[in-house]
């Protein structure tokens, strides 16, 4: 059947969903109503395959000021201040037009922050790309990075961290997740909750065009690259800067009672969500919407995703006051509607009414599907991999193996990426990209700082999504603890394949359950997030990637500690978890296998370790802290050596471990600490009291890294290998 015969399929609605709409309305929807249902009932806006699962997540704590349901979450930092933060995806647009897709992803997440009255202070990103041997993947990589840097730099917001990984499952379907953090007074948070019968609805910012049509529904279909070039928005960061400053000024006054950005589904989602939160109706006249293209229909106006636009609900008779502020920032505005008392979304074009539907039909009427499935046999087989058939490496091969790992795209230097991001603007960055396990920003006028991290291991999640999601939570919180921060809350972005079939349905359900349990175990709630499903190309899903962003508070920003050790320091291995090769970067890079089970997590040990790490940093006893993650201990030691430009001699003693397991095995709950020898007694005594194993394994000094009995590896060799990982890609803006 064609879409002409079944128009609801054009907006990604199923036959049963259309039947439900007919039942709700008691009539056939108008074309504009059908388009609005398609947008609001899309996965991107309606969360129909994830809503039931997300109820498992813990969302409350005494320090949580705003949990899920608003534009972003918020936590109390103390000193009368709050951090507002969220992560969102722009995967599908970036697969089609990587520069604009990534750029507008940054713009959208920034608007989510300042619409709540918070000034954005940091941007992070998490990226996944396919095999870099493919020209298309190189094109996507270069232009996504350029788009992120181009937009964020123009806004004057530092891009302070994130992570990147590569795997063939992301061929043609990159993951582009953008996170933003803002600051606001604790009592100054603004909600997007329409109120005040008779209050006015004002549209501000850019004029409306046809770009972005069907963007929300487009994010809920397979194979985005195939036929959706027209849905990608075009951004203007300079206009966004004006919009940000104007909105923050408006929110200092009392004329504006609610504010909502126009993101996915444009004007449709913004007015429906505002009205829904407030339990009111809303009446919009599309003839009043400023347009940059002629002949636009009501359908196009309501579904356009043109960027740099906001909806304000302001007190009646105060439009001139609002317009005067906007005029000072050279921004246009238009009074397009009113708040009503009937709970109905009414869209008119002059005297012609195109939409007249209760708000609840768009929100509460959206179906919710239970997602659960049996574990595929293929997953069990991969996890039961027999490592007895994997040959160990000889002592003499340890150095060459380390250099090979450092030269791999997943572990090598990200300097060519960081150099495209301005991470020092606003002069608040204390620990920036590559300098520590988490970014740290000072809050001027106080002693406190914000620590921010993003983490996920897609390999782990493909083998065991429950355990893999837990690893994402514990690593993101551990990274906050490594710089001396106290983890407060998490934002997540759940990137998966088609939830209507295996294996994505099983992966999604298990990952959410694992994440929920890990957050409960660590006492860290989830306050915001996003779901991005249908990430597939040619029916092949991406590796599951439940990305975790964590925000913590550093009580004294001067104590924050990076990964660069000092000459003469003792080096300690903290934690007693046994490393494994399951899902390790070593097994993938050296043996070409993604197999085995990720290492188990002992949450009691993890809690004790993180508490001990924070205590060490606050005490001032340590020079450097670095968690052991991808690539194992050898890679972590190399990163510390390269950061400090100082070598070390490491002796682990004798045991029956394989060389590959000892040096390149991965597990949770382990970290490296460097400290002056004068602190030796203090560290060992406090570790004993904390119940954390602390083994002195080496000393910093010289210009090379010596791992046990292996040959010495000059730091310059480490650095050259690491620089080779992404060097061929630097600034290569190849065409599609």
The residues annotated as belonging to the active site are 44, 90
Whole-angstrom CA distances from 314 to 242, 263, 283 are 19, 20, 14
Q: Distance between CA atoms of 234 and 230, rounded to whole angstroms?
A: 10
Q: Residue holding tokens 């992560």?
A: 87
Within 13 Å of residue 358, how many CA atoms lie on the same side as its CB? 11
Q: Residue 170 is encoded by which pair of tokens?
A: 């992301």
Q: Distance between CA atoms of 688 and 527, rounded to whole angstroms?
A: 35
Of 605, 568, 576, 601, the closest CA to residue 699 belongs to 568
Q: Residue 716 is encoded by which pair of tokens?
A: 């310059």
Q: Distance between CA atoms of 84 and 495, rounded to whole angstroms?
A: 22
Q: Residue 426 is encoded by which pair of tokens?
A: 């606003």
Judge whether 722 and 642 are in contact, CB under 8 Å.
yes
Whole-angstrom CA distances from 231 to 9, 212, 388, 423, 503 are 17, 4, 51, 31, 28
Cα angle 670, 675, 677 (rounded to 5 degrees) comes to 130
Of 699, 702, 705, 698, the closest CA to residue 719 belongs to 705
334 beta partners: 203
Q: Using CA of residue 555, residue 432, residue 411, residue 404, what is the dihedral sign? A: negative
532 beta partners: 495
Q: Residue 665 is encoded by which pair of tokens?
A: 């095995």
Contacts of 654 (CB under 8 A, 6+ apart): none
Query: Dihedral, CA atoms, 480, 533, 497, 38, nearest 10 degrees?
Result: 180
């Amino acid at each position: 059947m064609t879409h002409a015969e079944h128009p609801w399929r054009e907006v990604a609605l199923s036959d049963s969903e259309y039947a439900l709409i007919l039942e709700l309305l008691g009539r056939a929807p108008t074309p504009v109503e059908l388009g609005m249902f398609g947008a609001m009932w899309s996965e991107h806006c309606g969360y129909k395959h994830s809503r039931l699962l997300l109820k498992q997540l813990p969302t409350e704590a005494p320090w949580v000021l705003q949990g899920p349901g608003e534009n972003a979450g918020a936590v109390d930092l103390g000193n009368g201040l709050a951090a507002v933060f969220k992560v969102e995806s722009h995967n599908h647009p970036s697969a089609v037009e990587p520069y604009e897709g990534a750029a507008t992803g940054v713009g959208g997440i920034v608007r989510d922050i300042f619409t709540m009255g918070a000034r954005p202070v940091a941007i992070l990103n998490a990226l996944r790309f396919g095999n870099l041997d493919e020209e298309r993947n190189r094109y996507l990589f270069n232009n996504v990075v350029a788009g992120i840097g181009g937009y964020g730099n123009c806004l004057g917001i530092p891009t302070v961290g994130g992570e990147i990984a590569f795997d063939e499952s992301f061929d043609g379907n990159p993951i582009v997740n953008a996170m933003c953090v803002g600051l606001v007074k604790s009592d100054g948070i603004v909600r997007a909750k329409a109120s005040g019968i008779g209050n006015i609805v004002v549209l501000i910012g850019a004029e409306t065009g046809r770009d972005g049509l069907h963007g929300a529904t487009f994010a809920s279909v397979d194979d985005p690259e195939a036929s959706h070039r027209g849905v990608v928005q075009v951004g203007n960061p300079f206009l966004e800067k004006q919009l940000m400053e104007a909105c923050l000024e408006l929110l200092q006054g009392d004329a504006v009672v609610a504010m909502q950005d126009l993101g996915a589904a444009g004007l449709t989602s913004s007015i429906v969500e505002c009205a829904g939160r407030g339990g009111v109706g809303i009446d919009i006249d599309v003839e009043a919407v400023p347009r940059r293209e002629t002949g636009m229909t009501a359908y196009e106006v309501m579904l356009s995703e043109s960027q740099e636009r906001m909806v304000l609900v302001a007190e009646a008779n105060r439009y001139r006051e609002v317009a005067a502020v906007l005029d000072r920032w050279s921004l246009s505005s238009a009074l397009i509607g009113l708040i009503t008392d009937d709970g109905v979304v009414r869209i008119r074009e002059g005297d012609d009414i195109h939409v007249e539907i209760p708000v609840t039909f768009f929100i509460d009427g959206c179906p919710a599907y239970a997602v659960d499935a049996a574990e595929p046999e293929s997953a069990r087989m991969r996890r039961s991999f027999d490592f007895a058939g994997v040959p160990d490496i000889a002592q003499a091969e340890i150095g060459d193996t380390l250099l090979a790992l450092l030269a791999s795209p997943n572990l090598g230097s990200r300097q060519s990426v960081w150099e495209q991001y301005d991470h020092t603007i606003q002069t608040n960055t204390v620990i920036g990209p590559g300098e520590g396990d988490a970014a740290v920003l000072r809050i001027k006028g106080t002693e406190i700082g914000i620590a921010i991290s993003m983490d996920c291991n897609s390999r782990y999640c493909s083998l065991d999504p429950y355990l893999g999601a837990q690893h994402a939570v514990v690593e993101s919180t551990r990274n906050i603890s490594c710089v001396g921060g106290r983890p407060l809350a998490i934002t997540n972005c759940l990137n998966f394949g088609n939830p209507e079939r295996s294996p994505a349905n099983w992966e999604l359900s298990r990952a959410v359950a694992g994440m929920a349990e890990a957050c409960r175990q660590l006492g860290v709630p989830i306050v915001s997030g996003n779901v991005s499903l249908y990430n597939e190309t040619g029916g092949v899903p991406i590796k599951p990637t439940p990305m975790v962003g964590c925000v913590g508070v550093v009580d004294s920003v001067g104590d924050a500690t990076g990964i660069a050790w000092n000459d003469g320091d003792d080096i300690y291995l903290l934690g007693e978890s046994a490393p494994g090769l399951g899902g390790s970067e070593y097994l993938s890079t050296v043996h070409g296998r993604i197999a085995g089970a990720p290492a188990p997590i002992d949450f009691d040990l993890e809690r004790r370790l993180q508490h001990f790490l924070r205590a060490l940093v606050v005490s001032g006893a340590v020079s450097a802290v670095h968690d052991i993650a991808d690539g194992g201990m050898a890679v972590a030691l190399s990163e510390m050596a390269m950061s400090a430009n100082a070598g070390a001699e490491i002796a682990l003693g004798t045991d029956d471990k394989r060389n590959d397991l000892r040096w390149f095995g991965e597990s949770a709950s382990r970290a490296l600490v460097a400290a002056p020898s004068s602190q030796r007694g203090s560290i060992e005594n406090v570790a004993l009291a904390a119940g954390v194993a602390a083994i002195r394994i080496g000393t910093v000094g010289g210009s090379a890294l010596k791992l046990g009995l292996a040959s010495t590896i000059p730091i310059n060799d480490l650095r050259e290998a690491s620089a080779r990982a992404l060097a061929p890609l630097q600034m290569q803006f190849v065409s599609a």
